Amino acid sequence: MTFLANMDRRRGEILRGLFADLIPDLEVVLAGEDFDQAAVRYMLTWSVPEDIKIGWPALEVIFSLGAGADQFNMAELPDSVPVVRLVADDHAAMMREYITMAVLALHRDLPGYIDQQKHQVWQQVSVPPPAADRRVGVMGLGHLGRSALDALAPFGFTLSGWARSPHDIASVTTFHGENGLGPFLAQADILICLLPLTDSTKDILNAGLFDQLPPSAALVHAGRGQQLDHEALITALNSGKLRSAVIDVTNPEPLPKEHPFWNDPRIILTPHIACITRIEACIPVVCENIQRHRRGETLDYVVNPALGY
């Protein structure tokens, strides 16, 4: 019985050491090592081998090396093999930190001050309104979205959220569905995207959406790269519809050297670091799921193939 960790060797060795303590009878092999492919029962990976349907006869569970699984084409995976997403308590903590940093930076016009520093300009960019008068809206009300709202609450922002289905969150005005999207956008001075990637959310951050925001709104994008229309964002910044943005995810990653995001003073660009997977924080949950599988129990955090999360 074998567990394949398809990842870089440094993190793989950490994983192997943790497994030795938690499930000592399970053989752990790393990508690049010699192993019996036909004996692999569990696989932890970001991408799957091309022969996943025919070359891995013992495979019973695929663990995604990420908080979601939208990088997989579910149609290419064996129907009988569930995909389990990676979960760690510090994912939500890291996202709370990032969203708080980004919202405060936009609230206090940090992109403008960063640009002024480059040009040795010493002057006030703007007079920000009190936090209570700044309306912050979160798209995506799953675990990460709710955690972000909790982190922002102490600052006094007027908070709202939008999702496909209804939610009830204390001290947060919630909207849902297609009919609720327009009213939600119309009152979001700072828009935060934490949506999962689905067919309906691909390219959702487009010109039509930006047109529904209040004048001089700002954007924090930490969802998925395929959700943002880059050209539409630049157009919205140039027209004044948006005043600034903090972008953590793009498509592709990394961006080409000539891409306008690199040098736009209105954009703070980070290299997909809002949530960084620390393998040591995730392995206890993976091991518990393996033990559940061995006992014939239902697995936690199984991905819905139709949604990818």
Which candidate in 107, 135, 224, 243 is catalytic? 224
Beta bridge partners, 4, equal 29, 43
Question: Is 224 designated active site?
Answer: yes
- How far apart are alpha carbons 276 and 43 in whole angstroms? 20
Could you give the CA distance from residue 255 to residue 218 in angstroms, rounded to a whole number? Answer: 21
User: Nearest-CA neighbor of 59 among 79, 85, 86?
Assistant: 79
DSSP tag of 105: H
Residue 205 is given by DSSP the state B
Among residues 16, 108, 164, 272, the one annotated as catalytic is 272
* CA gap 112, 52 in Å, rounded: 49
CA distances to 28, 105, 262 from 245, rounded to whole Å, are 43, 10, 12
The kind and range of the H/E element at 107 are helix 89-107
Query: What are the residue numbers of the active site?
Result: 224, 272
